[in-house]
Amino acid sequence: MLYGKINSVLSSSTLDGPGIRVVVFMQGCNLRCKYCHNPETQCLDGGTEVSVSELVEKVLRYKVYVGKDGGLTISGGEPLLQLDFICEVVKAIKANGLTTCIETAGQYSGRLSDRHHKLIELLGVTDHIYCDVKFKTSQLYKEHTKGSLDKTLDFLGLCEKVLKEVTVRQVVVPTVNDTELDIVGLSRLLSDFNCIKEVKLLGYSNLGKHKYAALGRKYELEGIDSLSQHDLQVLQALFDKDFKH
């Protein structure tokens, strides 16, 4: 029997895909983004272990509430770190008539050559892919996340290969990645991928900083205000104007 680790289940969300979504937050992430909104999901040793059948049963309890347009969104943490598990969950949920969505930074574990076929299998059975690319260069990516942009780009490359449409949802953080150069650079990077159907810029919020205190950790962006709706709209317009699809 296949088991995975989850952090929590949100029974109703309208922000994580089309319609009303049940959101499963997977436990574990190999990134350490300075602005992470869910730091409680990062630790690989935390969370609750569940089987595929247990999680599917939990999600299906809400089937009557999500309707025909809603379904399951798997978020995190980084879902691709538990690739085999989420692939089986997605297949079971689809067999029960709900749509599926994966929210990811494209950070699979190990080498691409070892996970290639399973990633393609997941893309084949998932209805919606939301990807956060985060930064326009490998140097900035490593500095602010301690991870590799190459993995994200390789994941997008696989989406391109199998003609899987992707929505990029990019968090924009004041003083971190909110300049005109940052936005135009991101646009030029993503213009290479025909699989990207839409790019939505999301404004950074500091509402999650209290979680760091609860975990006994320092919040590295102390003093950085949330991005205003006006500034977000200006940056989105700049991106849309430059983006070549």
pLDDT digits (tens, 9 = 90+) for 31-56: 999 989 899 999 999 999 999 999 99
76: left (phi over 0), alpha (psi -120 to 50) or beta: beta
pLDDT digits (tens, 9 = 90+) for 137-179: 999 999 999 999 999 999 999 999 999 999 999 999 999 999 9
Instruction: Give residue 205's identity as a one-letter amino acid code.
Output: S
Average pLDDT over residues 120-142: 95
Other Cβ atoms within 10 Å of 233 Cβ, number:
12
Domain count, the chain: 1
For residue 193, what pLDDT band results from cuts at 50, 70 and 90?
very high
Asked if the model's pLDDT at residue 244 lies above 80, the reply is no
Asked if the model's pLDDT at residue 25 lies above 90, the reply is yes
> Which are the contacts of 61, defined by CB distance < 8 A and separation ≥ 6?
none
Rounded distance between C-alpha atoms, residue 219 and residue 35, angstroms: 8
pLDDT digits (tens, 9 = 90+) for 52-86: 999 999 999 999 888 878 999 999 999 999 999 99
Per the structure block, which two tokens stand in for 17? Answer: 């895909």
pLDDT of the residue at 67: 81
> Average model confidence (pLDDT) for the chain?
94
pLDDT of the residue at 1: 81
pLDDT of the residue at 68: 79
pLDDT of the residue at 208: 83
This prediction's pTM: 0.93
Residue 185, preceding peptide bond in cis (omega within 30° of 0): no
> Which are the contacts of 208, defined by CB distance < 8 A and separation ≥ 6?
36, 37, 38, 39
Strand-by-strand arrangement of the 3-13 sheet? 48-51, 3-13, 21-26, 71-75, 99-104, 128-131, 166-172, 196-203
CATH at 186: 3.20.20.70
Range of the domain at 128: 3-242
